[in-house]
Structure 1
Amino acid sequence: METGGHNQLAMSNSFQIQRYRKSDKDEVFAFLKKVYSPLDSKRLISQWDWKYDANPSNASAEPYILLLKNGTNIIGMEGTMSLRVSILGKEYWIKNFCDLIVHPDYRGQGLSRQVVRQIIADHPIGFSWLNEISKKAVAPLSTSQYTRLLFLFRLMDSSQVIYKTIGSRLLRRWSSLLTSPAQRLTDVLHRRPFPAGVTITQVANFDQRVDSLWERIRRNYPVIVVRDQSYLNWRFVRRPDAKYTLLAATKGDDLVGYIVLRVTEKSGVKWGYLTEFLVEDRSSLLLKYLIYQAIDYLRHERAAIIICLATMQFFRHTLYRMGFIPRLLKPKYFNPRITLSDPELQVFRNSRQWYLTMGDGDLEMSF
């Protein structure tokens, strides 16, 4: 159920929670510029139409976003994105709760918790990615698990990292001379014969073959975001502020797997991301084939570090064997929430039953 219009939904005469309308956009953008850094506000504003106002998955003409107001002034907000999720093979519409923010002058009063409470009341099933601040707001209102994310890293070029952290050109040169050839040799020695008849090519978008792949694998995982042509093209082809590289694994006329890559630069160091991947039959051999092709591409792009997220244990073991190691970043949590009593849906609240990558929901939209 969604509460419509601009009616006051909760709270006192001074503080009000109202539904966003597209006519509020300019006022919301002004608020975002006040509460975020210039870089972060620019990013979210550039994403706004794609993520919210013109999102093809919206259930109605207006996206579901709540605005927290003090009188006529916006002092906080939380948004949602509609997603389809397969739970034990059946599809359900859920919400990805995102972009929870309260103006610094009004924090410490429990206001964000009131916004979260209203969203949970309107949407009984959904999930969010939380940092330490948003976790404090949500924790008292949720009985579901909070799982801290464990990202996997692979160092590609230690010379970039050394130079940017300690500024030594000599150490950078020696590190490059010693580690790069050794790493390439290790990759060659560990590459086994790959699946017969499988070829990997770079593609511009996802076609109808990914729908067939999705239908073949959807029951392999208890809970997984629907990965069909419509969703994947919206998420990775049409995002306005990021560029992705798509590698497709085919066997004959069939798509049997894919991987989505991205390269960014932070403080002069290039980071590579295995943002999203999926393979038929949970094949670790096919995943390994795709990842080695991704590593070759990212090495050519001079990525110093590769990072990814894999929640399924058998895929993590494949990544470990390929030189990826676990490392905790700034705390980030996955929080599935459900208030429905249907026994078949209770698996949704167990994060260990989810197939997750960095491309799910808005986790990787924050940079």
Structure 2
Amino acid sequence: MNGRNEPQQESASAHGYALRSYESGDEAAVLETFNRVFAAIDPTFEPRDLRTWRWLFEGNPSGRRLWLAVTPEGRIVAQCAGIAQRMLIDGEPTFVSQSIDSMADPTFTQGLKRPGAFVRTCLGYWDAYSGSGPDRDAFVWGWPVETAWRIGKSQLKYEVVRTQGLLFATERTFAAGPAPGIDVAEVASFDEDVRELFDRVAPTSRCIAVRDAPQLTWRFLERPGFTYRIATARRAGRLVGLAVFRDGSFEGVPCGALCEWLIDPDVPEAGHALAHWAFACTLEAGRDELVVVLPDSRPWWMLMQSIGFRVRPTKYFPVARYFSKRHHPRWLWDHWYYTLADTDLV
């Protein structure tokens, strides 16, 4: 289910393939092409299995974004895919999607001088899913590798939103402790009052992906092969903060990672208490540092530094293709709140 009307199929038989949305039964060919293409360009690539693919593209409560170039024999020539996200932009419900797994079979690649299968597939994706309106993607974004960025910039109108910094804390720098009146508890699931917390947080950012129990359950509890730890912060029983931790690595460096960070704006001490919990998880895992990815234009970027986090650059730079003049990259830089939970990085 997409949570919206299925887009129209587009014939491109003159090129030897058709452009269309995913159909049941395509997954085996999609996975074969995906695993073959990415293994050839990334020596650290680990093949994706069908269970993970189904989680990613069939389980997401926000819907599916999957547009293909397919030969009459069922061979996948190219794919433009995305993780759909329900959003609030200026308080109004809409969608965006994070571009992932975009690819073209090299035997069909025509280079950058004229649109090839990959570019045609991406343009079909825009037509099918993007534009103005509550059921369409207001913008499409991603963390591109060099080749994708080169094509995206030259032919698909992607623009840089920011160069992404990383917040990190070590035993030498970390300075947050438990907060009086704030009860932190590690939990096994997301309660319905997560949405109430989100509704208090959302007005502080004009652009934010919806956080509710179904979305977070899909992202963290149903993801195959990954284990996360969840903690809540409550004051007098009311949920005032939520954090998700994972032991892993970022840019090849072993670390603890704060994957989700949702704090009541009127109770910043809940953030201090949850950071204290996350750093304890980091030490328990035998890691030397705790890392956080946040926008440097949002308040917690500076608040994290006040409790001992420091900043270093990363190789990442979020880019966006926007479909409304007001959602240009500078506006997104100012108003878009995201965490690692919004990405496929951890």
Normalised by the size of structure 2, how large is the TM-score? 0.82
Aligned length: 324
Are 1:353 and 2:338 counterparts?
Answer: no
Counterpart code for 1:149: Q
- What CA distance in whole angstroms lies between the structure 1 residues aligned with 2:151 and 2:102? 10
C-alpha distance after superposition, 1:75-103 (max 9, x if no partner): 32121232211111222133333211123
The alpha carbon displacement at 1:135 in A equals 1.8
1:274 equivalent in structure 2: 258
- What CA distance in whole angstroms lies between the structure 1 residues aligned with 2:276 and 2:80? 39
Distance 1:84-1:294 versus aligned 2 partners, 3 A rule: same
Structure 2 unaligned segments of length 5 or more: list them.
132-137
1:176 equivalent in structure 2: none
Counterpart code for 2:35: K
Distance 1:93-1:256 versus aligned 2 partners, 3 A rule: same
- What CA distance in whole angstroms lies between the structure 2 residues aligned with 1:245 and 1:262? 6
2:135 equivalent in structure 1: none
- What CA distance in whole angstroms lies between the structure 2 residues aligned with 1:236 and 1:153? 22
1:307 equivalent in structure 2: 291
Distance 1:268-1:88 versus aligned 2 partners, 3 A rule: closer
Match of 2:126 among 120, 129, 136: 120
2:27 equivalent in structure 1: 25
Distance 1:90-1:44 versus aligned 2 partners, 3 A rule: farther
After superposing the two structures, state which structure 1 stretch, 70-79 or 22-31, moved more.
70-79
- What CA distance in whole angstroms lies between the structure 2 residues aligned with 1:283 and 1:130? 32
- What CA distance in whole angstroms lies between the structure 2 residues aligned with 1:47 and 1:193? 37
The alpha carbon displacement at 1:54 in A equals 3.3
The alpha carbon displacement at 1:39 in A equals 6.5
Distance 1:267-1:85 versus aligned 2 partners, 3 A rule: closer
- What CA distance in whole angstroms lies between the structure 1 residues aligned with 2:223 and 2:337? 22
C-alpha distance after superposition, 1:327-363 (max 9, x if no partner): 2233x2223333246x6x6699523211111111x33
1:334–1:351 CA contact under 8 A, matched in 2: no
The alpha carbon displacement at 1:243 in A equals 0.8
1:84–1:92 CA contact under 8 A, matched in 2: yes
The alpha carbon displacement at 1:259 in A equals 0.8
- Partner SS for 1:364: coil
Larger radius of gyration: 1
2:165–2:312 CA contact under 8 A, matched in 1: yes
2:81 equivalent in structure 1: 79
RMSD over aligned Cα atoms: 2.9
- What CA distance in whole angstroms lies between the structure 1 residues aligned with 2:235 and 2:268? 16
1:200–1:248 CA contact under 8 A, matched in 2: yes
The alpha carbon displacement at 1:280 in A equals 0.4
Distance 1:317-1:11 versus aligned 2 partners, 3 A rule: farther
Match of 1:103 among 88, 102, 105: 105
The alpha carbon displacement at 1:245 in A equals 0.5
Structure 1 unaligned segments of length 5 or more: list them.
157-182
Counterpart code for 2:301: R
2:134 equivalent in structure 1: none
Normalised by the size of structure 1, how large is the TM-score? 0.78
Are 1:363 and 2:331 counterparts?
Answer: no
Counterpart code for 1:126: F
Distance 1:71-1:357 versus aligned 2 partners, 3 A rule: same
Distance 1:51-1:225 versus aligned 2 partners, 3 A rule: same
- What CA distance in whole angstroms lies between the structure 2 residues aligned with 1:294 and 1:193? 11
Identity over aligned pairs, percent? 21
